[in-house]
Amino acid sequence: MSGRELAGQVAIVTGAARAIGRTTAETLAARGATVVSIDLLPADDTVAAIEAGGGTALALAADVTDEAAVEDAVARVTGTYGRVDVLVNNAGLFAGIERRPFWEIPLDEWEHVLTVNVRSVFLCSRAVAAPMREAGVGRIVNIASNVITFGMANLMHYVASKSAVVGITRSMARELGPSGIAVNAVAPGLVTTEITAQTVPEEYRRLVAEGQCLQQAILPSDIAEAVAYLAGPAARMITGQTVLVNGGATMGPA
């Protein structure tokens, strides 16, 4: 489905200034949604791209790990548009994390990764729960990672944070379901973005692709399309699920 099925809806995408978040914001806008970016980074390019395509967008600068900032941002969205229909918890920390054994991870680094990747999901979801529950409908899509299926050595804090996102997704699905709100997660494999192109060696990216059933690079648009499906009416009876978008990398040996 790629029509205007989200027309009239308001979607918040955290971390929409670049990479998966930007592509997701543009994809939801193409489906007709008014898209609000909440990001520490300037999202002017995202807004400009959406508006150039005839869509409507707004960029709010906020730290999604800060309770007051999140509450204020969501209040501005509801004050401006009167509703929040979709929340995509995309903001997260991966690039720049040093890979090392867990016994060498400093406590402040552990807490920073968990704060960015987990607290933000909790705070943003809690902030939109009230307007969604009042409306009796809503969609929350959390971005996890396929590392939850196999673990990853030397990135325990990242694996722990994305595993927590899956647990949060399931719990929220049970709590919000009676209010007509569906909550799901999308777990990407290694996505080719400007960030991974700079931080992940090409040889490693090639080896990852060769380990997939579909031996092609995973693109931000692949993730965005999965998010858009879960945000749309066709997925109205899907909740509490984690959709792996990883080219079949975690199916196990044949």
pLDDT in tens, 190-233: 999 888 887 788 899 999 999 999 999 999 999 999 999 999 99
Q: Which tens digit of pLDDT belongs to each residue from 143-176?
A: 999 999 999 999 999 999 999 999 999 999 999 9
3-state DSSP assignment of residue 84: coil
Q: Is the pLDDT of residue 2 over 70?
A: no
CA distance 210 to 235: 31
pTM: 0.95
**Residue-level pLDDT at 251:** 81
User: Where do the DSSP E strands lie in the chain?
Assistant: 10-14, 34-39, 57-61, 86-89, 138-143, 181-188, 242-245
Structural domains for the chain:
10-189+219-243 (3.40.50.720)
**Residue-level pLDDT at 253:** 67
Q: Is the pLDDT of residue 250 over 90?
A: no
**Residue-level pLDDT at 254:** 64
Given the residues 81, 158, 204, 229, select the one marked as catalytic.
Answer: 158
pLDDT category, 7, cuts 50, 70, 90? very high
**Residue-level pLDDT at 96:** 80
CA distance 59 to 65: 17
Active site annotation includes 229: no
Q: Which tens digit of pLDDT belongs to each residue from 93-146?
A: 987 888 999 999 999 999 999 999 999 999 999 999 999 999 999 999 999 999
CB–CB of 60/76 below 8 Å? yes
